[in-house]
Amino acid sequence: MTATFWTGSSLSFTNGSKTVTVNTGPSLDSVKANSSLTAGNYNEPVEVKSVSGNTIILYNNWPGSTGTTSATIKPSAAAAASAGVAAQQLITDIQSLVSSASATATANSFVKRDSNGRIKAASPSANDDVVTKGYLGSSATRDVISAANDTSVGKILTNVADFNFFALRDFGDYYPSANPKDIDAEPAGSSALYSTVGPGTYPLNPFSTNSGFVHIQTRSMYTGSAKYQYSVQYEGTNASNDAPNVAIRVMDNAGEGYTPWATFLHTLNTNLNEFGGGAGSVIATSRARKNNEILFYLPINSFAEPLGISVTDSFNLRGEDSISTGNEQLTLSGTFNTSLSSNRYAVLILTGLSGITQGGIYRLQCNSNASKLKVNF
């Protein structure tokens, strides 16, 4: 028996008219020409010519009475046969696709599970591709950190705080001057980063109480007792010393206390080729090789040979205990000696001096705070 595939609960019929109006019922989109319509007020089927919107057009005038009633529509035998053929073809196509399923990563095939219930895929390329275990490497079989301060070997960090690795802290909260916190409060194998800006009093600052700096503390992974502290100053303390500084101190495993802070010297905080800068300060000491001549060796450390000197203001030649020799406000002009100088010493030869004794010890001192000598390369 041909199946009913359309039913409407309220349709309006007019005797002698080919037009039927659907008042209540589903869409007529699936109804095709040559389908057969049977209404509640007429027991014989009539043939449908076409449909449009909610209107059905019959091939012949409606022979039944005028009125509103329910109706059903069934496909024609030819339409049913065609649908059957299409369904059979669909089944055949599905069977073909299923039979081509592969347990390997084969292009344009259905995915098939292998004998272990697993599926295979090619390495990902686009952002929405499936990611395979081989693409992830060993991380695919690693556990993640499950709790704060979990130090298990081989686990994956989910965020910085899990391992307390360089956890950011602020000195204002964690280092009150009245009760400074120590690295002992951090777990073994951890590091903490502390930072501050602007003026304030911070007990672990090795540079100045009014300079911005960051402070790093670490503890040994294995013993938990060896401690290391690093401080980096990123704001200068005054206009003449606006250079970054780095310092370190260490506590040994025996717990004997921290060493003094050791400050790293670099090209921005130490001028290894400049001498002077303070009235009365001694820049070199030497013995007179003649009654009117002294050689001064200024220690330097350079890859290149010095080419000369630049001098600001003047210098004084004094004996021991800064006793005046009468050689005051020397400009040092022409005193640099190229042949005797090297990448370890800049040699100055002062000649034409008076009031000195051969073999005596003499000091070359700054005449003022502006007195400065710079070795050029």
pTM: 0.42
User: Is 276 exposed, middle or buried (CB count within 10 Å of its CB: 0-12, 13-18, 19+)?
Assistant: buried
User: What does the alpha-carbon distance between residue 369 and residue 358 come to, in Å, rounded to a whole number?
Assistant: 30
Report pLDDT for 217: 66
Residue 360 to residue 357: CA distance in whole angstroms: 5
Rg of the Cα trace of the chain?
49
**What DSSP string runs through 122-148?**
PPP-STTSPPPHHHHGGGGGPPBP-ST
> Could you tell me how far CA 314 lies from the centroid of its own chain?
54
Which domains, and CATH codes, for the chain?
A: 6-79 (2.40.30), 167-263 (no CATH), 274-376 (2.60.40)
Question: Which pLDDT value is given to residue 332?
Answer: 95
Measure the CA–CA gap between 281 and 370, rounded to whole angstroms: 11
Q: Which pLDDT score, from 0 to 100, does residue 110 have?
A: 77
Give the pLDDT score at 168. 42
**Which helix H or strand E contains 97, and what residues bound it?**
helix 77-99
Strands 315-318 and 324-330: antiparallel
Judging by beta carbons within 10 Å of its beta carbon (0-12, 13-18, 19+), is residue 371 exposed, middle or buried?
A: buried
> Tell me, what's the pLDDT at 171?
39
Pair 365, 294: CB distance under 8 Å: no
Close Cβ partners of 187 (under 8 Å, ≥ 6 residues apart): 149, 151, 164, 219, 224
Contact 347, 341 (CB under 8 A): yes
Q: What is the pLDDT along the chain (377 residues), one digit of tens a residue?
A: 445 589 999 999 999 999 999 999 999 998 989 999 999 889 899 999 999 999 999 999 999 999 999 999 998 877 777 777 777 888 877 777 777 778 788 877 778 888 888 888 888 888 888 888 777 777 777 777 665 556 566 676 665 444 444 444 443 434 333 333 444 555 555 566 656 555 455 556 676 655 566 666 666 655 545 566 666 665 544 434 556 778 887 776 555 677 777 888 777 777 788 999 789 999 999 999 999 999 999 999 888 899 999 999 999 999 988 899 999 999 999 999 999 999 999 999 999 999 999 999 999 999 999 999 999 99
> Encoding tokens for residue 203?
């007990």
Tokens 């095939």 -> residue: 109
Which 8-state DSSP code applies to residue 54?
T
Q: How many C-beta neighbours within 10 Å does residue 6 have?
A: 22
Burial class (CB in 10 A: 0-12, 13-18, 19+), 88: exposed
